[in-house]
Amino acid sequence: MTVFSRELFIKNRLGLHARAAIKLVELAQSFESIITISNGEKSATADSVMGLLMLESAQGQQVQVCADGNDAEQAINAVSDLIEAGFDEES
């Protein structure tokens, strides 16, 4: 197993809110790897909308994304693309 990790900034205006969390969960569920998002002391697996909302990640905050599994590199790249694209929302 391989672990990949990346630090990213939340760019979209509303931060990691419900619609963004749902997009992230749907993406995470398409991978075998376990994806974890951390914001300071808090962390959640990316397959839990409620867990992601509890992170309270706002615009401009930095989050740590970790992927652990056979497709970890593809997973971290896909999650990074989604977050860097502002969850495909208008900013």
What residues are labeled active site?
17
How far is residue 42's CA from residue 83's CA, in Å, rounded to a whole number? Answer: 18
Token digits for 10? 């939340």
* C-beta of residue 29 within 8 angstroms of C-beta of residue 78: no
31 burial type by CB count under 10 A (0-12 exposed, 13-18 middle, 19+ buried): buried
